[in-house]
Structure 1
């Protein structure tokens, strides 16, 4: 697997460090006064201080309104379940609670959404059949 890099906007370093480093258990990388890197499940994410957008857009996926702008990680099923339980136990506020979408279909997946302290939406998902993640024959709209 080749890691990806994603840069995104945040309000401040300390609340971001607490969320990604503390709540999600991501290792902290390099940082300055206005950005900080994390090892996000094997990928490099860079959080940069900047202004908040005026509007949060939504889109429909599997009959559920989800944040249009979001990022996240596709995890093994057991890892996804353990993360959902850990966040629940730590009192995380879910945008969309842990659930299974497209049950019994080729694109069956567990998913949940949370927001970081800066309002960025994150989706964590797991496919029941990992090989179906990029399968064009899976349910229309299964990808998000």
Structure 2
């Protein structure tokens, strides 16, 4: 079954820095834009950055403990194919990206074993990128 693309709009207090981050750091194609927002092709999904004052979650990050790490909440991201995830991790390392949680394998040897990494955009929005060696484990308990 094919997935429908999602639409996600997020606040950014520095539109130029966020535009550069999503466009250059990730290499996302830009779609429509105005002086106050920009659409990006986020792996086939529509991500829109909207200029907006800092939000409380951007000012004061919260976390939940998962697998011995402090996972930022809220966050969003994408599940990539394993090779795509590795290529993205390499791309981010080459660009000296500061990770909140460095790329690693989570739940090793357990149901739902996955590669994951967390980082913040220039405006404090938390992103997670993950991959499963076995995609059938996406919702494994």
Q: How high is the TM-score relative to the length of structure 1?
A: 0.91
Gaps of at least 5 residues in structure 2 are none
Please, which of 15, 18, 23 is the counterpart of residue 17 of structure 2? 15
TM-superposed deviation, 1:13: 2.1
Contact 1:112 1:123 in 2 (8 A): yes
- The answer for unaligned runs of 5 or more in structure 1 is 138-144
Q: CA RMSD in A?
A: 1.0
How far did residue 77 of structure 1 move? 0.5
2:89 to 84, 92, 106: 84
Segments of 4+ moved more than 3 angstroms:
none
- Secondary structure in structure 2 of the residue aligned to 1:59: strand
1:62 Cα shift?
1.7
8 Å Cα contact 1:8-1:46 kept in structure 2 = yes
1:141 aligns to what?
none
Q: Is the 8 A contact 2:112 2:139 kept in 1?
A: no
Deviation at 1:57, TM superposition (A): 1.2
Superposition pairs of residues 127-142 of structure 1, within 5 angstroms: 127-135=132-140, 137=141
TM-score (norm 2): 0.92
How many corresponding residue pairs? 136
